[in-house]
């Protein structure tokens, strides 16, 4: 039952892309009548209740509210503006006539989710502020928005030239990304999912997490699906070798795979144990 709830949350959240607005509500101006001291910081409420920060500028006034986990830097101390990607419950988008409604925020940790401290592999700090560790697709919407948007657009009505597609318009599990994430989600019931198991889920298109499946990317995976998974797992600064996360140097034939890199959805929300 726990696995079913977790999978339902995964599929409910998969397709709301590009329409999320980050609202930063700035706290009142500096209480000091003489202004603020340049370089000082203060909190501001941002990104669905996540705390952002403002820095005092040279003129003695606080600058924009910077919202963690998004590209929003457009809210000034005088009011709020929108920018960046954020998961907001009730947002919806359409694709080829199918409508998707996002219900982000995720399940509480007691409902099969990982606690905030349990996201990703131990030993590496820097858990993403504002990322729900129980919501893999919500993280992909934020940190891999361009790739995820292309995934939503590639459905059974608009397949790749090979006939495969990233995401089904009805969320029936037939899309490649749905199948791969379902495979990973199943493994999360048993604990942390490491690189070799994630690669196997991808190489088998969701059929198995057995590391004997190791080709990356597999020949029958669409480029769009591969791009989403590479964004999920590659180092954030990886540009020269997409898919490096699955290289043999990171997944050696003997010994343990390298830990997931900070700042990736694999580390923050997609592989942590669900127990």
140-193 pLDDT tens trace: 999 999 999 999 999 999 999 999 999 999 989 999 999 999 999 999 999 999
Query: Please, which residues have CB within 8 angstroms of residue 35's CB and are 6 or more apart in sequence?
Result: 56, 60, 61
Q: What's the pLDDT score for residue 79?
A: 35
Q: Are residues 70 and 150 in the same domain?
A: no
The span from the CA of 61 to the CA of 261, in Å, is 37
Q: State in Å, rounded, how far the first CA of the chain is from the last one.
A: 12
Q: Looking at the structure, do residues 72 and 154 belong to the same domain, yes or no?
A: no
Does residue 195 sit in the same domain as residue 60? Answer: no
Decide which of 34, 69, 84 is a domain's last residue.
84
**Whole-prediction pTM value?**
0.57
Domain boundary among 62, 84, 106: 84
Residues 76, 38 share a domain? yes
Give the burial class of 161: count Cβ atoms within 10 A of its Cβ; 0-12 exposed, 13-18 middle, 19 or more buried: exposed
Query: What per-residue confidence (pLDDT) applies to 26?
Result: 36
93 and 54, same domain (yes or no): no
Domain co-membership, 131 together with 35: no
| The pLDDT value given to residue 49 | 54
Range of the domain at 71: 21-84
Alpha helices in 113-175 (DSSP H): 136-143, 145-153
> What does DSSP assign to residue 181?
H
Residue 275 lies in a domain: no
Quick one: 40 and 118 in the same domain? no
140, 229: one domain: yes
C-alpha to C-alpha distance for 167 and 178, rounded to whole angstroms: 6
Positions in the chain whose pLDDT score sits under 70: 1-34, 45-51, 67-129
Q: Are residues 223 and 109 in the same domain?
A: yes
Q: What is the spatial distance between Cα 62 and Cα 43, in angstroms, rounded to a whole number?
A: 11
């Amino acid at each position: 039952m726990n696995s079913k709830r977790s999978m339902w949350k995964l599929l409910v959240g998969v397709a709301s892309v590009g329409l999320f607005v980050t609202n930063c509500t700035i706290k009142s101006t500096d209480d000091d009548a003489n202004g603020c001291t340049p370089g000082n910081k203060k909190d501001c409420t941002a990104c669905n209740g996540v705390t952002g920060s403002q820095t005092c500028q040279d003129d003695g006034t606080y600058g924009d509210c910077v919202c963690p986990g998004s590209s929003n830097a457009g809210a000034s101390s005088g009011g709020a503006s929108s920018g960046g990607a954020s998961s907001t419950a009730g947002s919806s988008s359409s694709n080829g006539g199918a409508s998707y409604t996002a219900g982000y925020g995720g399940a509480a940790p007691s409902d099969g989710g990982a606690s905030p401290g349990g996201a990703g592999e131990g030993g590496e700090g820097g858990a993403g502020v504002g990322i729900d560790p129980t919501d893999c697709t919500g993280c992909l919407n934020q940190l891999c928005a361009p790739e995820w948007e292309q995934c939503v657009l590639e459905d059974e009505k608009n397949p790749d030239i090979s006939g495969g597609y990233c995401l089904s318009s009805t969320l029936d599990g037939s899309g490649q990304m749905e199948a791969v994430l379902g495979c990973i989600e199943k493994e999360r019931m048993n604990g942390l999912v490491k690189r070799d198991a994630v690669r196997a889920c991808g190489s088998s298109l969701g059929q198995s997490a057995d590391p004997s499946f190791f080709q990356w990317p597999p020949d029958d995976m669409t480029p769009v699906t591969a791009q989403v998974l590479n964004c999920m797992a590659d180092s954030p600064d990886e540009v020269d070798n997409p898919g490096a996360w699955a290289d043999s140097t990171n997944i050696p034939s003997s010994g343990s795979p390298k830990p997931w890199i900070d700042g990736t959805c694999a580390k923050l929300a997609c592989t942590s144990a669900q127990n």
